[in-house]
Amino acid sequence: MEKSPFPLVPLHWFGFGYTAVVVSGGIVGYVKAAATSVTFVGVLGLRSYYYGKVMPVGLIAGASLLMAAKVGVRMLMTSD
């Protein structure tokens, strides 16, 4: 069996941190408000902007935007 020329995917610690923030926010939201719906980044960002509160809405929106930027940059760098 030949070895693949591509290395294994390295661990992405920022991705793990982002996942932990999103999961913990979802758990806290479910426990506090019995919420079961999914909230999108745009709604979170607007709510944070209008009310001036960063935690937890702005944190989730900011982390989501950073992860989207990271994925976009990586896609642009690896495109042929």
Domain boundaries, the chain: 54-80
How far, in Å, CA of 71 to CA of 63, rounded? 12
Report the pLDDT value the prediction gives residue 36, as an integer from 0 to 100. Answer: 47
pLDDT band of residue 43 (cuts 50, 70, 90) is low
Confidence band (pLDDT; 50, 70, 90) for 21?
confident
- Select the more confidently predicted residue: 62 or 3: 62
pTM beyond cutoff 0.85: no
| Closest alpha carbon to 49 in 58, 40, 38 | 58
